[in-house]
Amino acid sequence: MTTPATPPIPQLPGGSILGKPVRQIALVVADAEAQARAWAEHLGIGPWNLYTIGAPDLTGMTYRGRPADFRIRHALAFSGEVMLELVQPLAGESIWQEYLDRRGATLHHIAIYADDFATSAALVEADGWVAVQTGNGFGRSRDGRFAYYEHPAVEGIIVEVVQAPTDRFPPELTIPPVGR
């Protein structure tokens, strides 16, 4: 009796929107610090670096096509090569507060990092994605940019296109503390 051959493992397609891998998965939460502690303690994920961004440091802030003045606290950690983000809206109208009010703590967006922000934004918009929130100037270098997009055919998720800053500020807090 012969053993049947094992079928080949299919190759998974690479990339995603813009041909780039998803680099970040983000949730909106009511308390980023408390959730970072919970994820570290109960899921073993960390360390988490916490930052506060928004007005007045950011420029070009928009929400649903009009000027905006928002502020968030967010926590960042890695699981392998994927960054996880916990976003806590603090002030102003935003898609984060919109999601939290409508859905509670939930998956919010996936992020793609762009080599050329303007070209990437134009390509996403040409595919029917609509910018719902933007901001410029994050990071110590003030060259970080982001835009969040919705698509009428893609339910339940927002896509963020990010140009990472060349230099970040040090985190306000790290959970667990460095050295633990």
Using DSSP's 3-state secondary structure scheme, residue 8 falls into coil
115-166: per-residue pLDDT in tens?
A: 899 999 999 999 999 999 999 999 999 999 999 999 999 998 999 999 999 9
Cβ proximity of 112 and 157 under 8 Å: no
- Closest by alpha carbon to 169, among 138, 143, 137? 138
- Residue 51 bridge partners (DSSP): 74
pLDDT at 30: 98
Query: Which residues lie closer than 8 Å to 87 by C-beta, 6 or more apart?
Result: 26, 27, 28, 29, 32, 72, 73, 74, 96, 108
pLDDT at 8 over 60: no
pLDDT at 21: 84
Q: Residue 18 — pLDDT band, cuts 50, 70, 90?
A: confident
The pLDDT value given to residue 3: 44
pLDDT at 1: 47
> Residue 11 has what pLDDT?
45
What would the pLDDT profile of 62-109 be if each residue is shown by its tens digit? 999 999 999 999 999 999 989 999 999 999 999 999 999 999 999 999
- What pLDDT does residue 179 have? 62
